Structure 1
Amino acid sequence: MKKLFIVLAMCGLTMGSMAQETTDPVQKYSVATNSFWSNWFIQVGADWNAFYSNEEHGQGLARSPFKSFRATPGFSLAIGKWFTPGLGLRTKFSGVWGRTVVDENKHSNKTWTLNENVLFNLSNMLYGYNPTRVWNFVPFVGAGINRNCDANCYSMNLSAGILNTFRVSKHVGINLELGWNFAESDFDGVSYSNIEGGRVWDSHDNKFYAEVGLTFNLGKATWDKTPDVDAIKALSQSQIDALNAQLNDANAENARLK
């Protein structure tokens, strides 16, 4: 599991540096807040899940995320909204094939997860809003519920991960996501525990996933540049000065005629 954490961290650092390289400083500018109905998006994706249960603690099972007794494909649907270029919310449904990992035999079950995520677009927050940026680096955190349909039980979970979006057009993007769901110990349908002390994640059920999908931006998907107040004030003052000059000329002409 330590290797998985290291992989996620290295991917995050790499993606962050690449997001910085794709920033065009000419395009950076302050933006005005849009209406509530603007900047919504829908995501669809396919993922690969690896389950790590609290019941396997101390058994020395293989940790590879590709072992058949802990790995399974899945899919996801999500809808979200950006409230600013750097801050958004997303509601995400994912499922539906899971694993109960108690030994090296494959134990399948049906599960789904519904999470609410807070999204932080660090590319926009750190380097300025750029509507044509190719790569956006978006860490997220959240919480939600899991449902194990086979065991007929619910459990709570916390979530965290890295969402990376690649711009194809104004309304379409490709997304690559790496994530972690940290759930209660009965997420996999098994309520007993082998834990006596140990690390925090060993006492809970964990799901790590890698996902690729599409993002569809709905309606107004960009942000307008805020007016330059100083420029407007300068323009207004110059217009006032021009009117005063014209009035002074007219008064001088009237005085000459008299």
Structure 2
Amino acid sequence: MKKSLLTAVFAVASLGGAYAQSNGDVTTNADKYKVETNRFFDNWFFDINGGAQVYFGSKDAKKSFGKRLAPALDVSLGKWFTPGMALRFGYMGLQGKGAAINEKEAFTTGGSFVKNGVKYYDQKWDMMNLHAEVLFNLSNMFCGYNPDRIYSFIPYVGFAWLHAWESPKNNEFGASLGLINKFRVSPALDINIEARGTLLKSGFAGDKGNHGKDGMAALTVGLTYKFKQRNFNRGTVISTGISESEMRRIQNQLRDAQAYNNQLKDEISALRNRKPEVVYKEVAADDSRVIFFPIDKSDLTAKDLVTVKLMAESIKATDKNYTVQGYADQATGSKAYNLRLSEARANNVRDALIKEGVSASKLKAVGMGGVESVFGKENQLSRVVIIK
């Protein structure tokens, strides 16, 4: 019974070895849409842009567009969490310009002009725009991650808090929408052409009587510096390649192991229900002698060597010559492989008998290959060495 359990263990170990050998055949493929997540301090960047911005209030359209242009400076810090999405926080200034119909209105400078017979007064004020946005790199999202891509199309949305430094000091919240055209210069440096629009409640420029919406548009050009770590490592897809013949061999071993497991369960159940008995058997000197092997094995265990020692004493007591016949089951493995396995089993038993003092001239080892049946239809009973 213990020998049967040991055989089952070796059968399972043989299956594990087959899988380990198959899994050694591994291929790794890069996926341009998958990357590994980086640490928090990776993929940070710094933007500095300069250009012009224009305020759109209720009376500003009366003033020529060129005279409403004001200088703009935009400084931001952000992080790419994935190749397709980033968060950015920044400061934008410096001035706003517009027109008022009342000389006493906020931010008027003393200058004036006439439009369609109506007199308007120039406005100018110092301001800042603290903004936060979510950036979407659509080039990476739709075309796959490529750190060497020359041009990237990056729209964004966010919110802003605008503050006017001039008296009366005004504060307004707004919503931002924009587009970054990014051109790669080097691994660390990009050139940006950015268009931004900000929508806010009317009155930031001093026109408190208008309850509509005002806006501000900006166009800037600048640079982005990317701190290390700058790039993302590509994600990998690991696949194992198992040949069809190898897969069939593994399936046969699994079926055989399952059948043997069911047999062991039946044997255990029968032994539990059987009453103890003592069996005496007289073994003649010329009786056949057998040693069973686990699936795919030819080595002798410590228990097998005890059996060999007893066989050697019996063989040395006679003048007969013996044939050591090795077998394998034909249900698993190829014909050539089973022949080599049966020869290895026969030679190992012959060598062990010689070590126990049996004359080599009395022993002949023969491999019989894979056979359908030796002691019955069960495959495990065909993995055997018979000494005749």
**Alignment TM-score, normalising by the size of structure 2:** 0.50
Partner of 2:191: 174
Deviations for 1:149-179, whole angstroms, at most 9, x for unmatched residues?
Answer: 1121210111101111110111110011011
1:39 aligns with 2:37: no
| Deviation sequence 1:174-228 (CA, Å, 0-9, x none) | 01101101112122233222x6xxxxxxx22211110100001111111101122
Provide the residue aligned with 1:214 in structure 2: 223
1:229 to 225, 238, 242: 238
Q: Is the 8 A contact 2:63 2:98 kept in 1?
A: no
Deviations 1:69-121 (A, max 9, x none): x2111101000111111111111210011113326543210100011111111
**Is 1:114–2:112 an aligned residue pair?**
no
CA–CA distance in 2 between the matches of 1:149 and 1:47? 20
Offset, 1:257: 2.5
Q: CA, structure 1 residues 152+62, in 2 after alignment: closer, same or farther (shift >3 Å)?
A: closer
1:55 CA displacement: 4.0
Match of 1:31, as an amino acid?
V
Asked if the contact 1:100–1:189 (Cα under 8 Å) also holds between the matched residues in 2, the reply is no
Q: Aligned to 1:189, which of 201, 206, 218?
A: 206
Q: Does residue 1:255 correspond to 2:345, yes or no?
A: yes
Q: Which residue identity does 1:255 align to in structure 2?
A: R
Percentage identity across paired residues of the two chains = 29
Which residue is equivalent to 1:129? 145
Paired AA for residue 129 in structure 1: Y
Q: Give me the whole-angstrom Cα distance separating, in 2, the residues matched to 1:108 and 1:62.
A: 13
Q: Does structure 1 conserve the Cα–Cα contact (< 8 Å) formed by 2:74 and 2:92?
A: yes
Structure-2 change in CA distance of 1:176 and 1:250 (3 Å): farther
Name structure 1 gaps, 5 residues minimum: 1-25, 196-202
* Distance in structure 1 (CA, Å) of the matches to 2:296 and 2:49: 70
**Aligned partner (choices 75, 78, 88) of residue 90 of structure 1:** 88
RCO higher in 1 or 2 (8 Å CA, sep ≥ 6)?
A: 1
Amino acid at match of 2:32: K
Are residues 55 and 192 of structure 1, via their aligned partners in 2, closer, same or farther at CA, if it must alter by over 3 Å?
farther
| Equivalent position SS for 1:33 | coil
- Find the residue that maps to 1:255 and give its secondary structure: helix
Query: What secondary structure does 2:100 align onto?
Result: coil
Aligned CA RMSD, in angstroms, stands at: 2.5
- State the Cα distance separating 1:29 from its structure 2 match: 4.4
Aligned structure 1 segments of 4 or more residues deviating by more than 6 angstroms: none
Point out where structure 2 has 5 or more consecutive residues left out of the alignment: 1-29, 102-112, 114-120, 251-294, 300-340, 349-388
Larger Rg: 2
Conserved 8 A contact 1:27-1:130: no
Aligned residue number for residue 75 of structure 1: 73
How many Å apart are 1:250 and its aligned residue?
Answer: 6.8
SS at structure 1 position matched to 2:139: helix
For the residue of structure 2 that corresponds to 1:132, the secondary structure is: coil
**Aligned letter for 1:94?**
M
